[in-house]
Structure 1
Amino acid sequence: MRYIEAILMKFAMVFAVLFVILGLVYGIELMDIFLISLVITIVGFIGDLVIYPKTSNKVATAGDLVLVFLLVWLLGMVWIENPESSLIMPAIFSAIIIAVGEWFFHIYLTKRLWEHKETSHTTTHDEPRQS
């Protein structure tokens, strides 16, 4: 159930950002935004489960930045009929804003999904102190 909650949260974040940038600013249709958000969410969540636990938040967030840029740009070129402008700038804006959200989403995954409490240096465990 926690995985479903996490993926829905990620989709809501991605869709909201793309709706504002692609929909409100650039006039892209809602169905195109939905489909691009769905692909980004699925591919990104798989990456979060595979890459993030083996690396760091910085590496995973950088990967998300590149992933979102490429998917918005490439899927936009394929799915969006006659875009009024180049999709490079909307892809850059979307990637930056979603990457900021992903930084906090990764922290959420660590604390809520995997139940680790991170400090600035190490992971803490509830171990008794020895006097």
Structure 2
Amino acid sequence: MRYIEALLMKFAMVFAVLFVILGLTYGVGVFDIFLLSLVITLVGFIGDLVLYPRTSNKVATGGDLVLSFLIVWLLGLALIENPDFSLVTAAIFSAIVLAVGEWFFHIYLTKRLWEQKETSKTIKRDAPRQS
């Protein structure tokens, strides 16, 4: 259940960022934003589960930056008909803002999904004193 919650949270973040940048700023349609968000979320979440636990937040965030840029740029070329703006510029802005959000999302993943809970408390006893 926690994975589904994290996946939905990531999708909401990605959709919100792309809606503001691509939708409100560049006039991209909501359905195109939805598809871009879905692809970025699914591919990025798999990367978060595989790459992030084995590396650091910096490496995973850098990977998300590159991934977001490539998906917005290349999939945007296929989805957005005759854009009257530079798709590369829009992809760069989107990727940078998404990377900032991913930094905090990775911290959330660490605390919420991979938190190590102590199952039993060890009581430290003083060693018996020798007289």
TM beyond 0.5: yes
Equivalent residue, structure 2, for 1:43: 43
After alignment, is 6-15 or 81-90 more displaced? Answer: 81-90
Equivalent residue, structure 2, for 1:31: 31
Residue by residue over 1:6-41, the C-alpha shift from the partner in whole angstroms, topping out at 9 and shown as x without a partner, is 000000000000000000000000000000000000
The alpha-carbon distance between structure 1 residues 127 and 106, as it changes in their structure 2 partners (threshold 3 A), is farther
- In 2, the alpha carbon distance for the partners of 1:129 and 1:54 equals 32
Indicate if the aligned counterparts of 1:76 and 1:87 stay in contact, CA closer than 8 A.
Answer: yes
Indicate if the aligned counterparts of 1:11 and 1:41 stay in contact, CA closer than 8 A.
Answer: yes
- Which portions of structure 1, spanning 4 or more consecutive aligned residues, are displaced by more than 6 angstroms? none
Indicate if the aligned counterparts of 1:69 and 1:91 stay in contact, CA closer than 8 A.
Answer: yes
Equivalent residue, structure 2, for 1:14: 14
The alpha-carbon distance between structure 1 residues 96 and 129, as it changes in their structure 2 partners (threshold 3 A), is farther
The alpha-carbon distance between structure 1 residues 23 and 47, as it changes in their structure 2 partners (threshold 3 A), is same
- TM-score, normalised relative to structure 2: 0.89
Give the SS at the match of 2:106. helix
The alpha-carbon distance between structure 1 residues 89 and 116, as it changes in their structure 2 partners (threshold 3 A), is farther
- TM-score, normalised relative to structure 1: 0.89
Listed as ranges, the gaps of 5+ residues in structure 2 are 127-131
Indicate if the aligned counterparts of 1:10 and 1:41 stay in contact, CA closer than 8 A.
Answer: yes
C-alpha deviation, 1:84, in angstroms = 1.0
1:99 corresponds to 2:99 = yes
Rg bigger for which structure?
A: 2
C-alpha deviation, 1:115, in angstroms = 1.1
Residue by residue over 1:19-77, the C-alpha shift from the partner in whole angstroms, topping out at 9 and shown as x without a partner, is 00000000000000000000000000000000000000000000000000010000100
In structure 2, what residue type is equivalent to 1:46?
A: I
Taking only aligned residues, the RMSD between alpha carbons, in angstroms, comes to: 1.9
In structure 2, what residue type is equivalent to 1:65?
A: L
